[in-house]
Structure 1
Amino acid sequence: MKKKNYYKNYPILFSAVFTAAVLLMISAVKGFFPFGDASLAVGDAVLQYVPLLSELRDRLFDGGIFSYSFSSGLGFDFFTAGVYYFLSPFTVLSVLVPGLTAFEAFDLAVMLKVIAAACCFSYYLKISLPGKDSLIPAFSVCYALCGFFTGYSSNIMWLDALIFLPLIALGIERIVEERGGVLYCAALGVAIITSFYTGYMLCIFSVLYFLIRIFGSEGLTSSHNKIASCKPPVASDEDGGEDLYEGRALLPILLKFGGYSLLAGALSAVTLIPLFSALGNSFIKFGEEDTFLFGLADFFTGHLMGTNSVGSYGSIDIPHPFFYCGFLILLLVPLFMLVKKIKLSERVAYCALTLLLILSLLISKANLVWHGISVPAGFPYRFVFLYVFLICVMAYRVFRHLDSIKGIYIASTGVLSIVVCLSLLFQSNEFYTTKIALLNILFIVLICAALLLYKYRNKKRAAILAVTTVLVLAEAFTNAAISVTVNEKDRISILEQQQACVKTVLTANEKSLQRSEVVGDKLAFGLKGSFFGCNGISTFSSLSDEILTFSIGGLGLSHNTQNAIIYGKQTPVFDSFFALKYLYDFSDEDRDDTYYKPLDLSDEDKAECGLNAYEYKYPLPLAFAVNEGITDWLATMLSGFKSQNSLFENATGIKDVFTRQEPGEIKAQNAETDLLSHLIKEDESIMNMTPEMYAEFTRDKYLIKYTKPETVKVTNTFKVETDEPVYLIYSSDMFNNLTILAGGGKEREILYMQNLAAPLIPLIGIKKGDTVTLTAELSDSAKQEYLKGKKIDKNESIVQFSFYSLDEEKFFRGYEYLKEGALKIEEYDGSYIKGTVAAKENQMIFTSIPYSDGWSAYIDGEEVEVLCPEDTHLILLDVEAGQHTLEMKYEVPGLKIGLMVSAASAVLLMLFILLEYKRDRK
């Protein structure tokens, strides 16, 4: 009996083996784990997922709490981040494998998820459409290694949807067939827990799929056959059986579907409630008008081999959804309406849902609804996996009835596919080359021939099926070899080496709630503290607080307006206020020894990765007493210097710690220049600003007019008129390469990231009387783009050169004032801080901890209100004069109630499982 059941499950086993074999071949060719040192972690994976996996590994192996982390972005809810990014059993298991790096664990998790997706899809086909199992592995490979895998595998949390979607669909079919809803409820609940984002999409799809099953079934079945028996639900109209659904009541099934759907949501409450709390201040934006997101040529291109790669286009410029799932699917799906053994109502229902998904991908506002009413930042069309599942199922159903379809129709789909491949060569797409087109045509011809042979050579069908499976595997491998993007081993090797160096030095130095930052590293930006194992400021996360990002970035850090902050070289004002103590620098740039003391490192650490470490001499803790005027801090001013001036003045009462210096003479090669402030008339109002306000806003900004941006150079010659430290703000919407030659010393070249605000730049090693020459131009890569004929949308650009000096006497006076009210930390564990603080008078406690509903504060044992300033979202506390004990505690918001709801729902689900088991035993 065991052998028989094992034999019956061979499609699932072969699906896993074939998918694993293709993945291993791709690994060998592309050089990622286990056959190389490259990695599937590209883009967001390097900046977000791998750092969080590194931190998860540290906490699992070294011990640590899982509620809160100070590693990145000044602090964040680690539990919620885990729910959002890596709460998948495959991800956690990969991290637990001894000896793997975070990059290797990432690659292993991707491969395990893809294999699991193939198994679940084969299970779905075997149970839902039994009887012809021989080609199930080929269809499962098509599903698992589709364009969603090749294009989106770097966003590892989305791959779980490929695993659970077939189980959800099968569960819905069981409800419609009156066979219970436990499978549907459990699969949907776990899908939401592992990734609420794709879980939301699965919820919408579940309703639509339920409706088409109801519509196509013309009623409900009373069958109670066991899934384990692998038998079809009694008989099917596809097999010429009688109509099973006549006269069945619809209302009980609707109620059952609704009830199990609600129970699935309740099961996931342990993750949903905390997550929705965390998303309260994240960036959400609805589109303004309906547009079509891709054209007809893009639609066809997206189905072809070799066109589903983020690496080809860049995540922001993906021209079409990644529809690809193989030519076995593409050749059979157009024949779906011709299969008369499938009821007409069912054929119409499936085609209608397919059309709805296409329109949802095409129309911008419908697309946004599927993305949670939020503009997807890069990686559009994230729900395309639903379309892939549907057409794979439809294609398999066509294959089951291939005998009933005329050969001329099969040949016609092949011919039409070839015509499309050839016609697309005349479209403007530099990545769809003649070579790619010929590869597509080759596989179309081979697979079309295999289908025709299968139809007409009955006696050799087993051999033909084997050949067809081999062709499918070869096609899947070829597509992945072209489309899968990897992070090259050289960069991965350097990152891992730099990570090891920093962690070694961290172990040797004090590890406390004081912050550390890493600069000059290969990671560049992202969740750097998570990756390097320190408490940092830099961040890049979908869960970032938009207001916090804007206010901290507004102090002069490189940032966007949504979710990214990059710590660079900063002022003493910022470093003191935000508790910086250590700086780990992989560049060879100098530091101001007035403020930074070099740390003694071993020659080995310096030689291996070029690490220089510094201790900041004037750190303040995470909390300290300040004047009550801190509530008047204007955190979103237009200049980083003005914002820091406002912060310092309202905290200490000392004005103008930074003083503006007159910029030098500006010249432009092959362009005309003019001050932006000269372009407004005295009585004119722009952006609701008076002429005086506009003049302040445009100070130090110049309008550069040109015809060929690749030939333009803008030069500013600045003469230093002070012995105080001098800082620069440079910004431009076009010229992203700045070269600084200061005081006759070595040149510094700074390449600015697009779409990020420019940071403050310390001008190190200069003295009064020196001349600083700054030259701005396009970067070499941007020049190449324009030389290739990139369209110029405008012929002008704004360039800003602003210089400010730090009044050191004022800074040190203010620092000593704040130091007197510094929190002396006595105890902490990440989610609990205890210490003493002294207030000279009724003051406020300023903290560099982001506000969250999870924080509570106690002064001398009594709970006090945790204040959240509207324009900063940094925690403030009221404190009276005197010596006080301060305690701060963090609990994940909504976790307790979520646990209770999920636990109660799990008990209820177990009861339903027992009832179904007893019923099936009868």
Structure 2
Amino acid sequence: MTPAGTAPAGSAPAAAEDPRRARRRATGTAVALSALLTALGLCLGDALARMYPFGPATRSVSDLGNQYVPFYARWWDVLHGHGQGDLLINWNSGYGTSYLPDVGTYLASPFSPLVALFPRDRVDLAVYVITVLMTATAAAAMTGYLLRLRRGNPVLAACFGTAYGLCGFAVTDAAYNPMWLTGLIALPLLFLGVEWALEGRRPVLGALLVTAAWAANFYTAYMAVLGSLVVLAVRLAQTPAPWRARAAAVLRLGVRTGLGIGAAAPLFLVVYTGTRYVWPIAPRDFHAVPWSDVLARSLPTTYGFNSPGLYIGTFALLAALAMPFDRRISGRIRATWCVAAGAVLLSLQWGPTVLVWYAFTNPNGSSYRQAFVLCALLVTAGWLSFSRGLPDRRTLLCAAGVLAAVAAGSASSGLDIRWTLPVLGGSVVIGGLLYLLRRHAQRRGMYRLAAATLALLPVLQVGEAAVDTARVDRNRLHHLDSHPAWGPWQDQVRQAVTASDDWPRSRTEAGSEMVTANDPQLLGGQGAEYYSSLTSEAWISTMAKLGYGWTSRGRAPRTLDNPVTDAVFSVGTRVRAVPHPSAEPYDASVPATVTVSHQKVPPLVTVRPAGPAPRYGNDTFRNQEMLLGATVYAVPDARVVTRDGRQAQRTADGWRADPQSGSKALPSQRITVACRPGWEVFLNTPHFGGTAAMAQGSTVRMVAAPGTQVAAMQRLGVVPADGRVQIDLRAAKPGSLPLRPVGCLDPSRLAAAVGQLSRTGATQVSVSGHGLHAELPAGSVGTAVVAVPRTKGWQCAAGDAALRPAQQYGGLLAVPLDGRATTVDCSFTPPGLKAGAALGTGSLLLLGAAGLWSARRRRAGRLAL
């Protein structure tokens, strides 16, 4: 029997677990509440702004509509087994491009597969839901970390987690770049890994958190790791442990981080290696924004594309500002967090430290994407103060004074702050009333009323964040280009593309940038367009020499509606959507006429005579002919005159084409050439921006800007009976014309060239996930040319020979033929995949060994007890 007053055997551990179970329950409640509040605040803000899916205004601004929505549409195809290609190759875009680096950059988040649960024509809604879930998860992760760092009221912790989830970085920047939300999620998880490293616990899980972050998006994961090192420095400075123990903690975290990064190598190393072969973009020098803008961006409703999104809500900001004055916290803790936050803030404004945040490469866009790290530090500092209960009056007055100074300092900002002071003032007044009511209720013993005032705090937090989100939504829509959500036009074009698809016998082009720069992924087919941060230099340089235009500083090639290049790349079907004349670019709400045209083209694999590969020059028409293998153009000398009849100014490379004062109805320049009647007229003016038209021909728009956009070659019409071609140009901005900008295409010569390539080309072509197989006529000699860009990673072979790195023929895949082989095989492996797989395998083996060793130590410790 058990003695009186003694608990039965085994009951003591159960009783000891009760407080832990209660803490877990409270933490779970806080985590769920913060996720709910964040989702509510984000959706409510979008609804107030009448943004999709709550109103007619599109959310698809800039990269969200131009990259993410199309990438998610193709991801839907891959997940449902409808994709042309696999995880290694994308046959839809860029006439065949590497896909795994795009997956690692844009689609590696564990939330991305959720797109498969939605209909394909609701991809915009799927991306929105994923964005909301990722933002809510970031808030939940921060809430869990805060309660792990210090216990406190779950409702209060949820409010601080919500402040992080709806911070300025998330609402302003990551909302239209969902991959950046992975960093927002990863940062508090890596903070948690720092705590485990300090305690010597959970080595495998700590490393796997790093793996998940780097696999999801190593770009923001790198910043998150730097942020975790800041927190490590803070925590080490606060601990009284000896230096040896601190060094051991640093070593533990370093090993875990290294193994975690290594385990993610199969994905992140492919992305990193892929960046070595991308189209180079001239780095933009860093220019710090005025400090008044920095201060303004910490307050509600402000927006600035290239400024730090530091908003965390008035309540959380007040708490963070109270921390330095809160005497309940030791001076060392206050000093370390203040120094850390101040150092990170200064690092946002100094060029050398900005380079450190971006791994010593200038970013292509905003220079303040690392702002979420400072938001996390501010939220953490605020929690360390308010989790102890409300500070005294002196502390709050000091914090309010600093907040007032921040507001005053932002008054000279060039940003729109018309709504800032009213919203800020309203939040301060409401928060002050809640503070007074709660203090009064606690003194009177009215604890239910005191609890009710705490329950109103989430309402204040969500309400202010919703107003901030709505204002940012509207400002962003006015500052950035936008793209329409899926609608009837996209349905019509996709149906036409799907019905005409004849891959791999020939390609189907979905038109010229109807909705996005990634229409082949969005609408289907196998087009030239492909906009990514990883667009290869080999592809863009080849396309530019052939008359294809590009935008986004070279990262987004435009398709070329030209029968010569269609023959070269086996484009047998073109879908064209001609918008209403009043429609703006990308305006899918205006009815359009969709037409489908077919033409006879050679197969995907052709055979060229033995001889040297083409070497391109500056004449685009001759470059096309070299790749085709036949002369099909007449490129006459051109006479270019200005509006008053004088010859245009000659330059070293051609002619100047500038806007001229006076009536816009009159041309600014006129080009005159002589060609054979009935031939087709093409205009090649890559550096001319404006419109061009010839008599009885259509007017075409040329879009060009130095360093950012190059205009594609355009078809203008047919040479009239007198053989005299006049082309009127209306320049919208200063530009230039080539010396011979006009080429006249002989359709009969082109038909003969197509017939010859078809007779000697492959008799059958088949494609696999990341490979290609072609059957050739017996006795084929010379060079087999595959109409696929020769990017790094392709290997090819003729007959039974071993695969070797592919040769190139005018920028395309080439395989030498000796007359004996009747087959050609090509396979693609992304650069970095093999090395990444080896590194990942080794890291996982080491992690497994570390896990077994840790488990044995724990088991030995329990046996010893």
Choose which of 404, 407, 412 in structure 2 pairs with 1:421.
407
Alpha-carbon distance in structure 2 between the residues aligned to 1:191 and 1:360 = 23
Q: CA deviation at 1:40?
A: 3.3
Residue matched to 2:15: none
Point out where structure 1 has 5 or more consecutive residues left out of the alignment. 220-245, 591-606, 678-693, 780-795
Structure 2 residue 108 is matched with structure 1 residue 79: no
Q: 1:846 to 1:478 in 2, by over 3 A?
A: same
**Aligned residue runs from structure 1 range 110-259, under 5 A:** 110-152=131-173, 153-219=175-241, 249-259=245-255
Choose which of 372, 380, 383 in structure 2 pairs with 1:385.
372
- Deviation per residue, 1:237-278 (Å, 9 max, x gap): xxxxxxxxx576333323212211111012202212322332
Q: CA deviation at 1:390?
A: 1.0
Choose which of 818, 827, 836 in structure 1 pairs with 2:775.
836
Residue matched to 1:684: none
**Aligned residue runs from structure 1 range 710-729, under 5 A:** 714-716=668-670, 718=672, 721-723=675-677, 724-729=679-684
Q: CA deviation at 1:531?
A: 0.9
Aligned residue type for 2:768:
D
Choose which of 645, 650, 659 in structure 2 pairs with 1:676.
650
Residue matched to 1:819: 758
Residue matched to 1:528: 519
Residue matched to 2:613: 631
Residue matched to 1:439: 423
Alpha-carbon distance in structure 2 between the residues aligned to 1:915 and 1:896 = 29
Q: 1:257 to 1:419 in 2, by over 3 A?
A: closer
Q: CA deviation at 1:104?
A: 1.0
Aligned residues: 817
Choose which of 642, 661, 670 in structure 2 pairs with 1:666.
642
Alpha-carbon distance in structure 1 between the residues aligned to 2:774 and 2:833 = 27
Residue matched to 1:683: none
Alpha-carbon distance in structure 1 between the residues aligned to 2:153 and 2:642 = 77
Pick which of 549-558 and 463-472 moved more. Answer: 463-472
Alpha-carbon distance in structure 1 between the residues aligned to 2:162 and 2:352 = 33
- Deviation per residue, 1:466-508 (Å, 9 max, x gap): 23322111111110111125889x9977744333333333443
Residue matched to 1:516: 508
Q: 1:768 to 1:661 in 2, by over 3 A?
A: farther
Residue matched to 1:680: none
Residue matched to 2:259: 263
Pick which of 384-393 and 292-301 moved more. Answer: 292-301
Structure 2 residue 610 is matched with structure 1 residue 610: no
Q: CA deviation at 1:144?
A: 0.3
Structure 2 residue 53 is matched with structure 1 residue 24: no
Choose which of 464, 467, 470 in structure 2 pairs with 1:478.
467
Alpha-carbon distance in structure 2 between the residues aligned to 1:712 and 1:382 = 47
Alpha-carbon distance in structure 2 between the residues aligned to 1:752 and 1:38 = 28
Aligned residue type for 2:598:
E
Residue matched to 1:647: 627
Structure 2 residue 741 is matched with structure 1 residue 758: no
- Deviation per residue, 1:549-592 (Å, 9 max, x gap): 1221231111145311011422x2211112211100011799xx
Residue matched to 1:682: none
Q: 1:640 to 1:340 in 2, by over 3 A?
A: farther
SS across alignment from 2:761: coil
Alpha-carbon distance in structure 2 between the residues aligned to 1:198 and 1:563 = 21
Aligned residue type for 2:358:
H
Alpha-carbon distance in structure 1 between the residues aligned to 2:612 and 2:351 = 43
Alpha-carbon distance in structure 2 between the residues aligned to 1:712 and 1:482 = 43
- Deviation per residue, 1:199-239 (Å, 9 max, x gap): 122233333332232222242xxxxxxxxxxxxxxxxxxxx
SS across alignment from 1:55: helix
Alpha-carbon distance in structure 2 between the residues aligned to 1:552 and 1:745 = 26
1:52 touches 1:530 (CA, 8 Å); kept in 2? yes
Residue matched to 2:571: 580
Residue matched to 2:9: none
Q: CA deviation at 1:703?
A: 5.7
Point out where structure 2 has 5 or more consecutive residues left out of the alignment. 1-17, 444-448, 582-589
1:579 touches 1:622 (CA, 8 Å); kept in 2? yes
- Deviation per residue, 1:752-795 (Å, 9 max, x gap): 5782111111112442436645242439xxxxxxxxxxxxxxxx
1:832 touches 1:889 (CA, 8 Å); kept in 2? yes
1:333 touches 1:398 (CA, 8 Å); kept in 2? yes
- Deviation per residue, 1:723-752 (Å, 9 max, x gap): 22111123557xx43152x32456555555
- Deviation per residue, 1:420-439 (Å, 9 max, x gap): 4356444433x333x44322
Residue matched to 2:555: 563
Q: 1:447 to 1:83 in 2, by over 3 A?
A: same
Q: CA deviation at 1:307?
A: 1.6
Q: 1:628 to 1:365 in 2, by over 3 A?
A: farther
2:169 touches 2:310 (CA, 8 Å); kept in 1? yes
Alpha-carbon distance in structure 1 between the residues aligned to 2:433 and 2:650 = 68
Alpha-carbon distance in structure 2 between the residues aligned to 1:288 and 1:501 = 41
Alpha-carbon distance in structure 1 between the residues aligned to 2:281 and 2:484 = 38
Q: CA deviation at 1:660?
A: 2.9
Residue matched to 2:109: 88
Alpha-carbon distance in structure 1 between the residues aligned to 2:97 and 2:77 = 17
2:33 touches 2:158 (CA, 8 Å); kept in 1? yes
1:18 touches 1:141 (CA, 8 Å); kept in 2? yes
Residue matched to 1:362: 349
2:80 touches 2:116 (CA, 8 Å); kept in 1? no
Q: 1:175 to 1:808 in 2, by over 3 A?
A: same
Residue matched to 1:783: none
Residue matched to 2:695: 743
SS across alignment from 1:764: strand
1:138 touches 1:469 (CA, 8 Å); kept in 2? yes
Alpha-carbon distance in structure 2 between the residues aligned to 1:798 and 1:284 = 23
1:286 touches 1:373 (CA, 8 Å); kept in 2? no
Q: 1:361 to 1:554 in 2, by over 3 A?
A: farther
Choose which of 855, 858, 872 in structure 1 pairs with 2:794.
855
**Aligned residue runs from structure 1 range 450-489, under 5 A:** 450=434, 458-459=442-443, 461-484=450-473
Residue matched to 2:69: 50
Q: 1:725 to 1:184 in 2, by over 3 A?
A: same
Structure 2 residue 289 is matched with structure 1 residue 294: yes
**Aligned residue runs from structure 1 range 881-896, under 5 A:** 881=819, 884-895=822-833
Pick which of 770-779 and 61-70 moved more. Answer: 770-779
Choose which of 282, 292, 317 in structure 1 pairs with 2:278.
282
1:368 touches 1:374 (CA, 8 Å); kept in 2? yes
Aligned residue type for 2:681:
V
With normalisation by structure 1, the TM-score equals 0.80
Aligned residue type for 1:421:
A
- Deviation per residue, 1:264-313 (Å, 9 max, x gap): 01220221232233222014568586x542111111121121123xxxx6
SS across alignment from 2:155: coil
SS across alignment from 2:179: helix
Residue matched to 1:322: 309
Alpha-carbon distance in structure 2 between the residues aligned to 1:100 and 1:4 = 44
